[in-house]
Structure 1
């Protein structure tokens, strides 16, 4: 029995790592575009650092969350369609997602055009709001790059075809570093240069990914543009909105934290400190997001193929693996908590305050190695609406109020806000663990079949539900 478990664990680990490792690298490379931008801008000045950090965590974080969420509906549908043997539907699905994400980007455009007044309403310092408002107008093209990027990624991930995307993202990051060094550091074009370089880097990545899509490598999944992309959009929008709400509530949690910090005494210092910590947390979060993508693909594939026990086993292996990696990162951040902030700033006061948050940052990094994996399970199974309500309760009714209480009432400043944020994340993780443990996966397989049929699948290609229904009846008894 023990050998069988070890053998199954090894096989599942290989399947997970086949998707997770390139997905981790892709996420790290693409996130590092913003990471590198903040690093170069941070050496221009403290106001510029705070302004770009606020833009990335508030305005771009808002837009990024919406578009990632809208694109994540594709993760559920494509993964389950692949598992059910209906690869031909993927080309139609990605086009529907482009239509929806493109329209969403247009709706979000005013947030980029009116960043300065928005930040003033949110009580951010005036000098930071002014610089941020100028910067966001220059980086507007990146908004539409996000709208194109997420559907492309979900399309490739569902078929476990991710290495080419990893190489493209790595090359894009390398170009980004070189261009920033030339135009920001050497030629001194400041944040204008940083913004234009970011636009160029992102659109080079999008064009390369689209070239891969139409290159003939996906003869069954991509058969050219089709009018079917505009059919049944309402149902697609419904799942997209549920995905967007679920993921946005997670990403906006960090946005709300930055806004709270901006209202503290000595706001510029506090924003600089918090932005450094959040940037490191988000960087390590990319590892967990790789497993988020992998477990989402594995769960959706297995449910689509009517293998509920395999889906459950994949969840267990993914959580244990990501948690182990999170523990390693936690140890590294505890050891080097005083040195890591130097990448972003040379200000001794900023470095000293950031080091104080090192212990909490390390704990949060471990916690966030598990939570995104559970969110990936939710996406793979199609639980987006349920998790959205959980996120509202844990983050906005528990985490943020506690953060405000500790930060303002108890005068713990950024430390208190981070404690409140961590409590909310801990509660959400515990609830998702409980739900995953109590889930009846046989019923989830039946729901996956219904979802594929509703969104254009062929009945003759779907796995029979007879055995699943009998299994569910047996479990219910």
Structure 2
């Protein structure tokens, strides 16, 4: 019987499909034998090295990119309370909504690129990234009314007219950032899936230094205020996109990038459905705490509570970048190992990242409690805002502790392709339990900010507990088989190139 051979390259036949399958089985057997030969401590250390190789630069990248918006918000706080509220509302609500949608749509690549890379189908990665560009650019166009009518939307949600008008004006200036997201997130997932995280870290660090100096100059020194903030944020995000894209085109990304292709427009509808499932899962998570700022804006005399919560969300956001770095690392580790069929190593990866992330979260929990009287002064010159921030910092401490594990478990879900399941869990825990509980405690029982935030933390507790149970009961051998099927399903014509 004739064996099917891949296309020839320079006249040399490539490996037959049967030979490729046999080599993959051999690699799996060697991997399992190697894993069995290690003791628990050795296995933990071995996986930790692989994890930190990705997580370290990923955390640094996430912190650098988040710090651009956070530092802009800090500079705005030095200008005045209204400016701080305007930037906070735009960052937390308008840009936050868009960020959630775009990141979620792009996160389909974490599953597909990671598993394809693990399976050795490197050429598929560039096609996947281009398909994601097409989909995210269309999504960005659909999201432009969110920026255009942001003032009306915020007022409809109950925010005061003064804050809504200021935030709406700033949102219009920030529209170029939306289209930078459309290119950035697919590029990010493309590089992460190959473990090329150091280049992302260097690019983000260089842009952050430039952003910090020029933002201070434009906003405070030259007095351009929010206009200067918008100019620098837009320039900084587009600069990140351009520099990373130059790197990909110049290096060819070890064969993962072979130029623009019409295959980017193939299987778009199926790709859209997978992207939407990823977006729903992540948006329900990202928007949950962002809604806290909106709900607090409905309280009587909201300016000081909004500023206090914004400062806490700013700090929580920096801490969340650590968890997001681990989220990226575990999604890469799980998807790569499942794509290669190494299901036992995938299970070990989940255990190692969970222990590591929770340990770091506990240290941050203690740090917040120890500095609750002093850290607010770094963000505001208002004594009233600083006092309110100190009062609610206890809830912030428990939030950062819970959020040390929850994003990691979501990363496991992305790596394994469980986005739809986690979306249902998020709806139930966040929006049927946590959010109603927060509204009842905050408004009906008059606990204010503490009640709203405390109820929402309860939803996070429930969601985390369920994800722990789901992960613990997972049949990882079955997940590896499904990953192999997924690579074949989404490979399309690219798989044969």
Whether the 8 Å contact between 1:338 and 1:358 is mirrored in structure 2 is no
Give the TM-score, by structure 2 length: 0.91
Q: Does 1:225 align with 2:257?
A: no
Pair 190,382 (structure 1): closer, same or farther in 2 beyond 3 Å = same
Q: Does 1:76 align with 2:87?
A: no
Secondary structure at 1:157's aligned position in 2?
helix
Q: Does 1:354 align with 2:397?
A: no
Q: CA deviation at 1:443?
A: 1.1
Q: How does 1:414-433 map to 2 (within 5 A)?
A: 414-433=449-468
Choose from 77, 85, 101 the match for 2:136.
101
Q: Does 1:26 align with 2:61?
A: yes
Encode CA deviations 1:263-299: one digit per residue, 9 max, x unaligned.
0111111111111111111110100111100000000
Alpha-carbon distance between aligned partners in 2 of 1:458 and 1:207, rounded to the nearest angstrom: 28
Alpha-carbon distance between aligned partners in 1 of 2:475 and 2:314, rounded to the nearest angstrom: 37
Give the length in aligned residue pairs. Answer: 461
Partner residue in 2 for 1:468: none
Secondary structure at 2:107's aligned position in 1?
helix
Whether the 8 Å contact between 1:135 and 1:192 is mirrored in structure 2 is yes
Whether the 8 Å contact between 2:121 and 2:495 is mirrored in structure 1 is no
Give the TM-score, by structure 1 length: 0.95
Secondary structure at 1:216's aligned position in 2?
helix
Q: How does 1:42-121 map to 2 (within 5 A)?
A: 42-121=77-156
Partner residue in 1 for 2:74: 39
Partner residue in 2 for 1:314: 349
Pair 48,443 (structure 1): closer, same or farther in 2 beyond 3 Å = same
Q: Provide runs of 4+ in structure 1 moved above 3 Å.
A: 457-461
Encode CA deviations 1:374-405: one digit per residue, 9 max, x unaligned.
00000000000000000001000111111001
Q: CA deviation at 1:318?
A: 0.4
Whether the 8 Å contact between 2:123 and 2:495 is mirrored in structure 1 is no
Alpha-carbon distance between aligned partners in 1 of 2:297 and 2:341, rounded to the nearest angstrom: 49
Alpha-carbon distance between aligned partners in 2 of 1:42 and 1:19, rounded to the nearest angstrom: 34
RMSD: 1.4
Partner residue in 2 for 1:136: 171
Encode CA deviations 1:436-457: one digit per residue, 9 max, x unaligned.
0001111111111111111126
Alpha-carbon distance between aligned partners in 2 of 1:459 and 1:59, rounded to the nearest angstrom: 37
Whether the 8 Å contact between 2:252 and 2:258 is mirrored in structure 1 is no
Partner residue in 2 for 1:464: none
Q: Does 1:195 align with 2:230?
A: yes
Choose from 240, 247, 250 the match for 1:212.
247
Choose from 349, 369, 374 the match for 2:409.
374
Alpha-carbon distance between aligned partners in 2 of 1:246 and 1:327, rounded to the nearest angstrom: 26
Please list every run of 5 or more consecutive structure 1 residues that lacks an aligned counterpart in the other structure: 462-477
Alpha-carbon distance between aligned partners in 2 of 1:201 and 1:433, rounded to the nearest angstrom: 38
Whether the 8 Å contact between 1:73 and 1:243 is mirrored in structure 2 is yes
Whether the 8 Å contact between 2:127 and 2:494 is mirrored in structure 1 is no
Partner residue in 1 for 2:430: 395
Whether the 8 Å contact between 2:123 and 2:494 is mirrored in structure 1 is no
Choose from 303, 321, 331 the match for 1:268.
303
Q: CA deviation at 1:255?
A: 2.5
Alpha-carbon distance between aligned partners in 1 of 2:314 and 2:216, rounded to the nearest angstrom: 20
Whether the 8 Å contact between 2:263 and 2:493 is mirrored in structure 1 is no
Q: CA deviation at 1:330?
A: 0.7
Q: CA deviation at 1:458?
A: 8.2
Please list every run of 5 or more consecutive structure 2 residues that lacks an aligned counterpart in the other structure: 1-35
Alpha-carbon distance between aligned partners in 1 of 2:234 and 2:361, rounded to the nearest angstrom: 32
Alpha-carbon distance between aligned partners in 2 of 1:319 and 1:380, rounded to the nearest angstrom: 15
